[in-house]
Amino acid sequence: MPHADSALVPETITTKAEFWAHTYSQLDALLDSDQRNWVTNLSNASSLIYNSLLAFPAHFGNGQRGVNWCGFYLDSPLFPLSSKSKPVSSRLLLGPFNGKPACQYINTAPGKARGVCADSFLQRRTVVVTDVESYPGHIACDGETRSEIVCPLILSSDGDNTSRVLGVLDLDCLAVEAFDDEDKAGLEKIADQLVKACDW
Ligand code: SME
């Protein structure tokens, strides 16, 4: 099967739960156990989720305006530094995504952090925003976005029972109230799948 066909959604899929289970298994097939680079895997993941949502308009209610952005913001220590860069630890950097250009940095420093991605990252939990205009501190990368969901990527270490938040997976929609607990469950499974499929 050509890689692009991974983002096709069969007509037999009619519910959100079925949609996320399907997307999970399509991503599983794309993730190659011999290839664990996070740039490569998150690039295909953002494309798969974004294009699968576009191919499943029933997710947002047929006729509703749909997804307009899907991508990752990663903790800055994950990015290599050039010889001239100063290390900055308290921020997220724009990672692989699909959609229009977006802000490059998100501040996560105490007292300066703002926005849905920073909240999800710092609080280590998925944040569902039904209406971005009512969310204090929301960062509007695209003025057309109306609702949003952000899910943390959490790397657990079984050995010493510790965990590290690597970054977040962010989805935006042009309609209000687009995301709910079913999307939260589906995305959290995919976030875990991706964390385990990459070397960090
Ligand atoms: N809205 C996000 C910023 C990222 S963009 O949506 C792509 C936030 O408030 O953190």
55 to each of 82, 90, 134, how far by Cα in Å?
39, 36, 29
* Cβ 173 under 6 angstroms from ligand 1: no
> Residue 63: its pLDDT value, please?
83
DSSP of 15-80? SHHHHHHHHHHHHHHH--TT---HHHHHHHHHHHHHHHHHT-GGGG-TTS--EEEEEEEEEGGGSP
Q: Please classify residue 193 by burial: count the beta carbons closer than 10 Å to its beta carbon, then call 0-12 exposed, 13-18 middle and 19+ buried.
A: middle
Q: Which of 91, 142, 148 to mutate to test the pocket of ligand 1 (most atoms within 8 A of CB)?
A: 148
Q: Given 3-state DSSP classes, what are the helix, strand and coil percentages for the chain, each rounded to the nearest 5?
A: 35, 25, 40
Say how many CA atoms lie within 13 Å of 17 toward its Cβ.
Answer: 0
Per-residue confidence in pLDDT tens, the chain, 200 aa: 889 999 999 999 999 999 999 999 999 999 988 999 999 999 999 999 999 999 999 999 888 889 999 999 999 989 887 777 776 779 999 999 999 999 999 999 989 999 999 999 999 999 999 999 999 999 999 999 999 999 999 999 877 778 999 999 999 999 999 999 999 999 999 999 999 999 99
Residue ranges covered by each domain of the chain = 3-197
- pTM of the predicted protein model: 0.95
> Residue 157: its pLDDT value, please?
81
Q: From the CA of 171, how far away is ligand 1's center (Å)?
A: 9
81: region left, alpha or beta (phi > 0 left; psi from -120 to 50 alpha): beta
The first and second tokens of residue 10, run together, are: 């069969």
Question: What does the alpha-carbon distance between residue 149 and residue 151 come to, in Å, rounded to a whole number?
Answer: 7
The angle subtended at Cα 95 by Cα 32 and Cα 132, nearest 5°, is: 120
- First and final CA of the chain: distance in angstroms? 29
Minimal-distance CA residue to ligand 1 atom 2: 139
Domain 3-197 superfamily per CATH: GAF domain (3.30.450.40)
* Cβ 119 under 6 angstroms from ligand 1: no
